[in-house]
Structure 1
């Protein structure tokens, strides 16, 4: 069972690291440490991972041996679980948002409730007589033991309150939102229901069975742990999906645009004076794309004195004659003019006496769409020295 629990903890910890290291997609977006939603999400997921680590039988045995106190891992795990429950409430509060004063007030209320609960768990354990070490069935073994009984019920009630509240909020809020946020809320709702039904109800049933003289310990030892792991993973996916998926899609598209700009960059990059950032294997596609976009615009500016309107006009007429739309013909003509300008600059020729005042389409539109169009047209453009002669020779990729 320890392996399954450690695996769940590892997945949660990795999710927290990915979210914390998530790059800002816009310049005005606050850094991770200044974003309450990111911080609360990372804290909640990290605490969830720690709960699983602490609840593993191997960890419990190690903690008990290290402290010399039988079952010391129990209040540690239950206190950590209560802190995790509190962090989920705070995360939900930050996610829902609202006036800062209201958010702060609700967060302090949550801490005010679960702080004493954690203290009560530790105090009740200290008052109880629990000298027999139990690594997998402590809840049912000590279900009738004074103080331990109250401690077990207390941590279960604290966790149940949070999961029920999360399920209710997800249902209500899900009616008001759409898209990824609604999908995330549905995942959180499924995780909360699975936690209540698969973990808490099985625990309650096993404990109550002990109170009535029956033995249903398998519910607590065999069913509850994997259900809790699955519920936590689903809830975490619900919190992470609306935050990570848009950035992942943006970076995937950025990688595609970066590659599609290759023909344009290989043709004009030699004249760019934009400072190159230090090469880093972990540099994300959006950062690479931004640097390439800036560098290409810098190169286009440097090549402007070499632009020849006659080449562009001849190429435009040829493209229109070939059945292209006016926009396609314009981009193809610009690519031919740019290719000729790059050839002159590479040959160290002097700029034209009367350089063109023409503006490329790629410099008139925002984003990388115009540059991508120009790059794809440039990949199909005949070499500049043959354009003047009216012949066709493919320009190598």
Structure 2
């Protein structure tokens, strides 16, 4: 793969990550952290677009100044470094907003000064021969251009080390996909620092009369795209993992509620919307299932018998001594009995003798009631006794 294609592939990956964040930004346009992540990914993509050797030639030709693309790319890279550090500062947060603001201003001011200095040094220097791949080593001994190259590399190295430290320290304090994302950013930043070391080595070799340019043009080049991929993946992973995790939890809850939903399904009015098909968002299907359960519980209230609930509660409590679980079993047995009695009789339970189903008030209790509906022997016993009574009647 040639240099231009590789850089453009890296740019494509970062643009793809930017699009993912833009889609999320449409749903939450006022989220400052989301805007910052989107801007950072876009600047990274812009960096690889401008740094591709064919595009360097286009920039030089368009502006009519040999090698003018170099300070432009260096300034975009420096901007990316500064914005990335600021993003990590805000992402982590601080108990004192004044500290965050002070750190942000210091970082942005420093890197803005570096951007200005890069263009000043380029203007002071003389780089008449266009170099698209090896400008760093070719002009490593040229006054002012040499200083410009060392300045951008130094700023890049400081940013890489800062990112490694911030990411790794924070990763030790957080779990899950956020931890993994921070570790990816730290590894990507470490690769970035290795990129700088290779550049330094090739430049120093030139100063001592050796030709180690391949370290800069080949090895360092390979690390650039890899490190960008890791950093982009690190920023994307927490939000993607959070979304996947949220959907997985919703799907798990949807499935665990199925026994309860099947039990009360005869009480869902025919005029209610039919169950959503499987391709609909699981969050919407879960909301519909929970709504069906709540509506059915309200419709069955006149058939809730306190004696049944109290008996099952006492038996369950005596067996496993867990009051919340016992309450869920009692609620499940009352609902199971009410469903069977409603099919054949008008409500006969006086208001003062009705059982109050409370397991629908807490999400965990609702799941426990659904599990009891499927597995509790006491709920099954209530079903059998109710069936025998109805059969004799």
What CA distance in whole angstroms lies between the structure 2 residues aligned with 1:330 and 1:106? 53
What CA distance in whole angstroms lies between the structure 1 residues aligned with 2:122 and 2:132? 15
Match of 2:299 in 1: 302
Match of 1:26 in 2: none
Q: Offset at 1:104?
A: 1.7
Instruction: Map 1:1-397 to 2 at 5 A.
Output: 1-18=3-20, 32-64=28-60, 67=63, 69-98=65-94, 99-126=96-123, 128-170=125-167, 177=173, 179-180=175-176, 184-197=181-194, 199-241=195-237, 245-268=241-264, 270-271=268-269, 283=281, 285-286=282-283, 288-290=285-287, 292-309=289-306, 331=328, 334-342=331-339, 350-352=346-348, 354=350, 357-360=354-357, 362-364=359-361, 366-367=362-363, 369-379=364-374, 388-390=386-388
8 Å contact from structure 1 (residues 71, 134) kept in 2: yes
- TM-score, normalised to structure 1's length? 0.75
8 Å contact from structure 1 (residues 271, 302) kept in 2: no
- TM-score, normalised to structure 2's length? 0.75
What CA distance in whole angstroms lies between the structure 1 residues aligned with 2:298 and 2:123? 75
With over 3 angstroms needed to count, the CA separation of the structure-2 counterparts of 1:391 and 1:226, relative to structure 1, is farther
Q: Offset at 1:281?
A: 6.3
Instruction: Name structure 1 gaps, 5 residues minimum.
Output: 24-30, 393-397
With over 3 angstroms needed to count, the CA separation of the structure-2 counterparts of 1:107 and 1:335, relative to structure 1, is same
What CA distance in whole angstroms lies between the structure 2 residues aligned with 1:52 and 1:19? 19
What CA distance in whole angstroms lies between the structure 2 residues aligned with 1:11 and 1:343? 58
Q: Offset at 1:257?
A: 1.0
More helix, by proportion = 2
| Residue range with higher mean Cα deviation, 51-60 or 13-22 | 13-22
8 Å contact from structure 2 (residues 86, 104) kept in 1: yes
Q: Offset at 1:200?
A: 0.2
Q: Offset at 1:186?
A: 4.3
8 Å contact from structure 1 (residues 194, 227) kept in 2: yes
Between Structure 1 and Structure 2, how many residues are aligned?
376
What CA distance in whole angstroms lies between the structure 1 residues aligned with 2:188 and 2:237? 14
